[in-house]
Amino acid sequence: MNQTDVKVSFYLKKSEADARGNCPVMARLIVGKHSETAFSVKFRVPQSLWSSGRACGKSVAARDINNRLDEIRAAALGIYAEQSAIREDVTAEDVKHQLLGMASEQETLLSYFRLFIRNFEKRVGINRTEKTLRAYRNSYNHLVRFLQMQYKLSDIPFAALDRSFIEKYDLYLRTECCLASGTIVNLTVQLKTIVGEAIADGIITVFPFVGYEPVHPKPEQKYLTSEELNRIMTTPLHDQILYHVRDMFLFSCYTGIPYSDMCLLTNVNMHCHLIVSRKDQTNKKKLSPLTNHKNTKNGVIKGGFDRVNLFRQAEQGFDKLFSYNRQLSESFEYSNTMKNGSIDDKLRMQEQELKEPKYYFTGEKKKDVFQSSEKENNISCNLDNKADEKHSYSHQNNGSGDSLLSIISLGKGNNYDAASEEELQTQKRKKKKGIRR
């Protein structure tokens, strides 16, 4: 709609003339063919000075009246031009409300944004951060420049916000400011927050973001490859401090601890513990990334972080990797039961420990080794006793000696190793040679 479709005319309301003949001046505002309204311009004119919608004559009073009427007409046309640049369905009532100052009772976007920032400043350090405050100030500055460039306005009422305004703002940020998609998403989200606060305060009832969806950037996962990590670990450095910096960086890479937490590490809190996975905007630590708090019944993880399962899996992984034959008394299950278990559980665990065969670090059973050692000792003792017998034994006694050795020696059903048997046969031959002499 063009400005030629807007007409502003004036007339006197003679029915309300006072005793001096002064009548209130009325304005008739017509927008298009179907929108019309009338209102008082707040001053009176003598009927003798009025003719054809204006003050007649060249007196100072007539020139004064005509100048005021021209200012009202120009203000109405300017308001209509501003409103029609933002939206199409501008009515005569909209122009009248803003012309008579009724819009001052309604909140405008930038004035409400400034109020929001002032209230936000009071909450910094309590439950808001300085970084978020800077982000809202940056969003406000972008809106100021957008309104000045796109509409030549210093502010805009909330009633003028619609989807067309949001899309034009998005296009401005993308083309004129050349911002990245992620930054545009953040700026539009902050504007959406302001609009949501205005709806909550009852300033507006229609949400202008309906149907608008910003273009989200494709997530790019940034990481170091194993070759790059190996290059960092093996590259020689010229300063000892750089070695320390590199060690801290590699520690954060392998543990996932953020830089802010690395700066807080001291000798007091440097110990083996579960790494804090994330923190929220109030710097509250979250123990597990898949649950909100300990012992929760909701979410992916039930009951929070399972430390018992962590220790058990670490123990099993160590035994499998190093082929370690772990004794029951060395296991986490045994120590955990003896420390935190009931009396029945402790007794049951001790019974299992007594029934379990003992092992050396090589994996051999202690019982079998002890039996083999006892058998070897018995054999050597019997051989020494036979060597001390007198040499007056005849050849028949050698047979009895052999039978004695066969009795002492292990029977067919006994099990002994090949080394013990070979040593026994060697000593028997030496004894026979001594008797023949």
Backbone angles phi and psi of 38, in degrees to 5 = -135, 150
User: Does 156 share its domain with 187?
Assistant: yes
Q: What are the tens digits of pLDDT across the range 299-349?
A: 554 555 566 777 788 888 888 888 888 888 888 888 888 888 899 989 988
User: Residue 421: pLDDT band by 50, 70, 90 thresholds?
Assistant: low
Within a domain: 330: yes
Q: Which of 72-81, 118-127, 156-165, 205-214 has the highest mean pLDDT?
A: 118-127
3-state secondary structure of 278: strand
At 422 the pLDDT is 60
Q: Which residue has the higher pLDDT, 101 or 407?
A: 101
97: burial class by Cβ within 10 Å (0-12, 13-18, 19+)?
buried
| Per-residue pLDDT at 140 exceeds 70 | yes
Distance CA(369)–CA(360), nearest Å, equals: 10
Q: What are the tens digits of pLDDT across the range 273-297?
A: 444 455 555 666 554 444 444 555 5
Q: 40 forms bridges with which residues in the sheet?
A: 26
At 155 the pLDDT is 84
Within a domain: 408: no
Q: Which residue has the higher pLDDT, 272 or 134?
A: 134
**Percent of the chain scored above 70 by pLDDT?**
70
Q: What are the tens digits of pLDDT across the range 238-272?
A: 888 898 888 888 888 877 777 777 777 776 665 55
At 190 the pLDDT is 93
Within a domain: 391: no
Within a domain: 220: no
| Per-residue pLDDT at 150 exceeds 80 | yes
Sequence-ordered list of residues with C-beta below 8 angstroms from that of 395, at least 6 positions apart, any chain: 435
Within a domain: 82: yes
Edge-to-edge strands, sheet with 35-46? 6-12, 22-31, 35-46
At 416 the pLDDT is 46
Are the C-beta atoms of 27 and 53 separated by less than 8 Å?
no
Which secondary structure element, helix H or strand E, spans residue 425, and what is its range?
Answer: helix 418-436
At 294 the pLDDT is 52
285: burial class by Cβ within 10 Å (0-12, 13-18, 19+)?
exposed
Q: Token pair of 151, please?
A: 């509409």
Q: Which 8-state DSSP code applies to residue 342?
A: -
**pTM, 2 dp:** 0.40
**Percent of the chain scored above 90 by pLDDT?**
12
Q: What are the tens digits of pLDDT across the range 170-204?
A: 999 999 999 988 899 999 999 999 998 888 887 88
Q: Which residue has the higher pLDDT, 374 or 56?
A: 56
Q: How far is CA 346 from CA 22, 341, 352, 353, in A?
A: 108, 6, 10, 11
At 118 the pLDDT is 92
Distance CA(213)–CA(227), nearest Å, equals: 40
Q: Token pair of 424, please?
A: 């026994």
| Per-residue pLDDT at 138 exceeds 60 | yes
219-237: average pLDDT: 85
User: Does 77 share its domain with 111?
Assistant: no
Within a domain: 411: no
User: Does 64 share its domain with 118?
Assistant: no
Distance CA(202)–CA(158), nearest Å, equals: 11
> Whole-number mean pLDDT of the chain?
75
Within a domain: 295: no
Strands (E), 254-331: 278-279, 285-286
User: Does 110 share its domain with 88?
Assistant: no
Q: How far is CA 270 from CA 176, 259, 262, 285, 287, in A?
A: 50, 15, 10, 17, 17
Distance CA(347)–CA(228), nearest Å, equals: 54
Strands (E), 278-373: 278-279, 285-286
Domain enclosing residue 346, as ranges:
307-355
Q: 22 forms bridges with which residues in the sheet?
A: 46
User: Does 16 share its domain with 46?
Assistant: yes
Within a domain: 380: no
Distance CA(421)–CA(409), nearest Å, equals: 9
User: Does 91 share its domain with 111?
Assistant: no
Half-sphere exposure of 66 (CA within 13 A, CB side): 15
How many domains, in total, are found in the chain? 4
Q: Which of 103, 134, 167 is the last residue of a domain?
A: 103
